[in-house]
Amino acid sequence: MQAPLSEPVAAPVAVSSDKPALELLIAAPRGFCAGVDRAIRIVELAIEKHGAPVYVRHEIVHNKFVVDRLRAMGAVFVEELDEVPDDAPVVFSAHGVPKSVPAEAQDRGLDYLDATCPLVSKVHRQAERLVKDGRHIIFIGHAGHPEVIGTFGQVPPGTMSLIETVADAEAFTPLDPTNLAFLTQTTLSVDDTAAVVATLQDRFPLIAAPRGEDICYATSNRQAAVKAIASACDAMLVIGAPNSSNSVRLVEVAEREGTPALLIQRANELDWTFLHGVGTLGITAGASAPELLVRELVDRLSLRYAVTEREVETNRETIAFKLPRGLDPDA
């Protein structure tokens, strides 16, 4: 299960009067989502089952703290399967992989586990169905992101086109404008994606939409939580990795609300000059950042400020995903 999203709010601590006051507004939901929690647990249980080392193709999630912790437990992170010994277990990351990867693993007889987020897998299955129905897919996403690479790898070459922006949508020229569909990466900006989709639907009225929203619940909820507090904050800190799409989007959401925002991976990366003149500071964490990094940041801020904190919850998440067969300790 994912960690509770509504943490107990710490009571104000008595501090020396020479510390300036700093109010913290802490967004909820924040931090781990169900897909991230599941992927990390798969690696942990694989190490328990097989012993170290267990190989992981690509970072299991985009967070250095999480990756370093799993590495210390016995995980070995690689980018391609040819780096995995023939007799070693391997886990595929939460972002998803092209079909060629499990096919290669099977050909080599590797013992593999797929930690792809179920919501990403849902997009994969939609892509397969649409191509089977003869539609050309416009995929909205960020070039080079592992999720995009994995999704493109579900369908034959030439059956899907990538666009990133409204300008891309305006310039796209399909062979058959009457036989299109669109899908999206799960970790995009809700507002940016809506603008791209509106452009596509205006240009191609017959374009087929996905079954339900492709942008995942966790991405949408974290962006909504930032919107709820940004206008009340002088600045915002987002805990997350620079290669974490959903974390970078949280910075953009805050800035779009007119609030300066900074992405940091750990509390020790904080540039104190960013807080000059700040009386109210917003804090959130991307979907692959554990809650203890939020607490670490609050503790560091307390060294220089008389901190009070208030959690602002806009949604309560209860989703949990099942573990693969053979790994679930409760099965």
101-154 pLDDT tens trace: 999 999 999 999 999 999 999 999 999 999 999 999 999 999 999 999 999 999
> 257 an active-site residue?
no
Q: Which of 147, 257, 311, 317 is catalytic?
A: 147
Determine the Cα angle at 40 with ends 290 and 97, to 5°. 120
What's the pLDDT score for residue 326? 76
The helix/strand/coil state of 141 is coil
Q: Where are the beta strands (DSSP E) in the chain?
A: 21-28, 54-57, 75-78, 90-92, 112-114, 136-140, 160-163, 180-184, 235-239, 261-264, 280-285, 306-313
Q: What is the rounded distance in angstroms from the CA atom of residue 242 to the CA atom of residue 319?
A: 26
Instruction: State which H helix or E strand residue 246 sits in.
Output: helix 245-256
What's the pLDDT score for residue 2? 38
**Antiparallel, parallel or unpaired: β 112-114 and 75-78:** unpaired
What's the pLDDT score for residue 251? 98
Beta-carbon contacts of 229 under 8 Å, excluding residues fewer than 6 positions away, are 25, 27, 236, 282, 312
Instruction: State which H helix or E strand residue 211 sits in.
Output: none
Buried b (16+ CB within 10 A) or exposed e, 282-305: bbbbbbbbbbebbebbbebbbeeb
Please list the residues that pair with 310 across neighbouring strands. 25
What's the pLDDT score for residue 17? 60
167-178 pLDDT tens trace: 999 999 999 999
Helix then strand then coil, in percent of the chain rounded to 5, is 40, 20, 45
CA 227 to chain centre: 18
Q: Which residues of the chain have pLDDT under 70?
A: 1-17, 328-331
What's the pLDDT score for residue 15? 45
